[in-house]
Structure formats: structure tokens, C-alpha cells
Amino acid sequence: MNNYLNKTYIILDRELRGYFRTPLASIFLLVFLALSSGMTFFLGRFFERDQADLTAFFSWHPWLFLVLMPAIGMRLWAEERRSGTIELLITLPVTNTQLVVGKFLASWFFTLIALILTMPIWITVNFLGDPDNNVILISYIGSWFMAGAFLALTSCLSVLTKNQVIAFIISSISGFILIMAGFNLVLSAVRSWSPNWITETISSMSFLSHFTRIQMGVFDLSTLVFFISMMILCLWINVQLVQLKKAD
């Protein structure tokens, strides 16, 4: 067991350092911080709302992640397949599950770093007023788990192609579908012709409805279970796809 975790950790370590070996990490972190604060202050009207909370900050996260998580995760497998290093990895004494989990965790921890770097916004709101910090903490946790689900989806889809740009596009489109599933526009269109349970299933698959609930400070276990199940499902498919596509 120890050896099993150790190998997963070595992969995680290599991947996480990999983000910082190129300017990719700094660019990503800058873009993330610029966009998340820009959206909070300009689109979210942080000051005009005159409320000591971070709703204006968190409500943009699903949309931000829609683009940024595929940008982080697109290289995970597409690049291994393009450069042929997948052959090195798979002939090492490790399982595909260790490889998939190690790589995924690296990208997930990277987003944790990005989220931690948004702390100045949290400090600002505490400086200006008296927010409910529990709600903020829950929102941060929810945001990180939602990012994990987006990343697992991207990681899984990035096996399908050797081209990072294609991996980015298909991941963004799939993420968009998963967000839109919660929109009334989509739901009402489905509701008009389908039984109720289908509408509810589609709605329950939505990242947006789950995240909205968490963002309101409702520590809903089912939402965390939803995001965790999404991650496990996507990573399981990821392992199968690696096995299937490795030699293509």
C-alpha cells in the first residue's frame, strides 16, 4: 500500500513541478487572478452590492472554470500520447490507475494553489465588513471540488486526442453542457416533452445547480458526493481510455 501511494506521489510531484517548469503556471495563475477579480468587481458589482460576502466572487467560478480547467488539464494525456512518453510510463512498474490518479491530483492541487492565491479578496471583504466566514469556507471547498470535477472530465477527454487544442475544445464543450443542464432555458425545453424524472436527472447533473446551493452556504453533503462521484466516474473512464487508446 505504501509503495502504491509512493508511486502515485512521485507522479503527482513530477506533474505539479511540470506546471512550474514552463511559464504556463505563472500565466495561468495571473489570468485566473485577473479574471476572478475582474469578474467580482466589474461584472459582479462587488462594491455596488454593498454586502459583506463573496457571492460576487464565487458566482463566476463555474464560467471561469469552464475555460481555465480545460487549459490546465488538456496536456495531461494528450501530450503524453503526442510525445510518445506514454510508452515510458506504461512500461514502468505502475498501474494505469496510479498514473491517472497521480496526474489528476497534480492538476487538482494546482487549482488549490490558484484558489489560495485569491485570499486577498477574502481579506478585503473581512476588512470592509463582517462576512460569514463559514459560508466563504464552504464556498471555497465547493469551488475546489467543482474544479476537481471539471479537471477529471478534462483529464478523461484528453486521452482521446494527441492534440492539446482539441482536448481543450472538447473539454470546454462538455463542461458547458454540464453547466447548462441546470439552466431553466434547457430544463423548460426538456420539461415540455419528457417525464419529470428525466428533467430532474438532467437538473441533478448540473454543476451550476450544485454549486449554487453550496455557494449559499448550504453544506450539502449530496453536492460534495455529486462532485466526488463525477471525479471517480471520469477517472475510472480515464483509466479505461488509457488502456484502450495507449497504442493508437
Partner 1 sequence: MPDKLINAKNLKKSFDQFIAVDKINLQVDRGEVVGFLGPNGAGKSTTMKMLTGFLEPDDGEIFINGIDLKSNPLKAKEYIGYLPEGAPSYSDMIVSDFLSFIGKMRGLSDKSLSNRLEEMADQINLKEMWDRPVETLSKGFKRRVGIAQALIHDPDILILDEPTDGLDPNQKHEMRNLIKKISKNKAIVISTHILEEVEAVCSRAIIIADGKLLANDTPQNLENKFLNKHTLSIKISDKINNVVSREIKSSLKYEEVKIQKYDASTYIILISDNKKVPNINTVLKQINKHKLNVIEANFQKVNLEKIFRSITTGKN
Q: State the number of binding residues for partner 1 (CB under 8 A).
A: 21
Q: Pick one of 2, 3, 184, 196: the residue that binds partner 1 (CB under 8 A).
A: 3
Cα 169 to Cα 18, 69, 165, 173, 206, distances in angstroms:
22, 11, 6, 6, 19
Look-up of cell digits 486577498: 120
Site string for partner 1, 4-33 (x = CB under 8 A): ---x--xx--x---x--xx-----------
Rounded to the nearest whole angstrom, what is the least distance from the CB of residue 84 to partner 1 in the complex? 4
Q: How many Å apart are CA 85 and CA 168, to the nearest integer?
A: 20
83 sits near partner 1 (criterion: CB under 8 A)? yes
Give residue 174's identity as a one-letter amino acid code: S
Q: How far is CA 136 from CA 12, 18, 21, 201, in A?
A: 28, 31, 32, 28
Q: Give the x/- contact pattern for partner 1 in 90-129, rule: CB under 8 A.
A: xxxxxx----------------------------------
Give 88 or 173: the residue with its C-beta nearer to partner 1. Answer: 88
Distance (Å, whole) CA 158 – CA 46: 36
Cβ closest to partner 1, residue 3 vs residue 192 = 3
Phi and psi for 43 in degrees, rounded to 5?
-75, -40
Our CB check for partner 1 shows the closer of 26 and 85 to be: 85
Residues listed for the chain: 248
Report in angstroms how near the CB of residue 241 gets to partner 1 at its nearest: 16
Q: Which residues of this protein are in contact with partner 1, per CB under 8 A? A: 3, 7, 10-11, 14, 18, 21-22, 83-85, 87-88, 90-95, 246-247
